[in-house]
Structures are given as structure tokens and as C-alpha cells.
Amino acid sequence: MFQPIEGLFWRGVEEFNTRSFFEAHDTWEELWRDTRGDRRLFYQGLIQTAVGFYHLSHGNLRGGCSQLGKALAKLEQYLPAYQGIDTQDLVQGVRWCLHEAEGMKSGEAVSLSEGGIPQIRVMES
């Protein structure tokens, strides 16, 4: 069934914010496949963010760190806001999580709690 671009985007945001990272990845990937131009790289950054948090939530620190690093390189190009979301807040949260995960990977006694994973915040109109 065809779903409009805007519907897919916001469905992915909702899935991400409810910690359904795999589902958000699938939703945004469907959107990404049919997108060209500036938004394509933005959606790829969101997909990599979701995949990164999926890996981290399943104990794959290496995969999670790799994907979050790739996501940051893309999302940082869309600051401070893009397509109705606060990208500055998202990037800041992803950076913090990546820092914590890198610490865990190197054996530091840190813990990446569920509460530390950022939400995607919608910009006020």
C-alpha cells in the first residue's frame, strides 16, 4: 500500500521515539529509496541513527558506534533544524550516546541508559 512521503517520515519519527528502532529504520528506508536531492542524505542519517541505536540496544557496541558516527557526519549538515525537527538537539544527543558507547567499548565503567537515548523533537510552529 502506498503511503505519502510525509506520512512515512512522521511514522518513522514516532517509531524512533517509542524505541522501535528496527521499525523506524524500515520506514525511513522505504522513504529513502524514493527520494532524491538534499532529503536523501538526511533520511540516510536518520536510518543510520536508528540502526546505531538498534545495535547498541542489542549489545553490539562496535556496530552501534560505527553507525552513529556515520549518522552524525550526515545529520550535522542539517543543523539547527530540518524538515520540522530539532536536528541540533538530535545531534547533541547522538554525540553524547556515541561518547558513552565508545567509553563502554574501551572498557570504561559507563552505562548507556535507555533514558540517555535522544528523542526526535518536533519544532514549534
Walk me through the domains of the chain, giving residue ranges and CATH numbers: 5-116 (1.10.3450.10)
pTM to 2 decimal places: 0.90
Peptide bond into 118 cis (omega under 30): no
Burial classification of residue 37, based on how many CB atoms lie within 10 Å of its CB (0-12 exposed, 13-18 middle, 19 or more buried): exposed
- The Cα-based distances of 77 to 36, 42, 56, 80 in angstroms read 16, 8, 24, 9
Per-residue pLDDT of the chain (125 residues), as tens digits, is: 445 558 999 999 999 999 999 999 999 999 999 999 999 999 999 999 999 999 999 989 999 999 999 999 999 999 999 999 999 999 999 999 999 899 887 776 556 666 689 999 998 75
